[in-house]
Amino acid sequence: MFGWHQATNRVVLLQRSENAKFAQGMWDLPVGKSEPGEPITETAVRELYEETGLTVKAESLKVAHIIHGAWGVEAPNGFLTVVFVAHEWTGEPENREPRKHAQVRWVDADAIPEEFVDTTASALHRYLDGGPEVSLNGWDQ
């Protein structure tokens, strides 16, 4: 999973469609799962392009946040999410998967929608605010 932050204090977000597997209508970062044998950085590059049309080089990625969830959709035994940030890319955001997403667009970092997937919203806000770099979601603490 990976978010993209720009020097103009904007981030590319997508809104999940009514056909999404979970969090229908909610805002989210571009996300995706690794293919077998695929390094996590290549997953980020591929999924960002597939969902938004933006092209980024793997070496431009920086780890922004890590989420360790105790449970998730299609992950009953938990999941580990790495959120990347990139400050260099080519292209303009577009909705390349209209069946999955209602829209893809730049959003001002000071105006992040409240209707946002909890785990990725927390990761985004913690990154933007310089907070903790690891989130534990659903664990008894």
pLDDT of residue 108: 92
The CA–CA distances, whole Å, from 75 to 43, 51, 70 equal 18, 21, 9
Alpha helices in 61-141 (DSSP H): 118-129
Q: How many residues does the chain have?
A: 141
pLDDT of the residue at 30: 94
- At residue 38, the pLDDT reads 96
Averaged over successive runs of 10 residues, the pLDDT of the chain (141 residues) comes to 62 93 92 93 96 95 93 84 91 95 94 93 92 88 57
Q: Is 122 exposed, middle or buried (0-12, 13-18, 19+ CB in 10 A)?
A: middle
pLDDT of residue 60: 93
Cα 66 to its chain centre, rounded Å, is: 11
pLDDT at 4: 55
Q: pTM of the prediction?
A: 0.87
How many domains, in total, are found in the chain? 1
Torsion angles phi and psi, residue 134, rounded to 5: -130, 135
End-to-end CA distance of the chain: 24
pLDDT of amino acid 1? 41
Q: Quote the domain boundaries for residue 82.
A: 5-137
Distance separating alpha carbons of residues 101 and 21, to the nearest angstrom: 11
- Residue 43: CA count within 13 A, CB half-sphere: 18
- Which CATH number goes with the domain that contains 29? 3.90.79.10
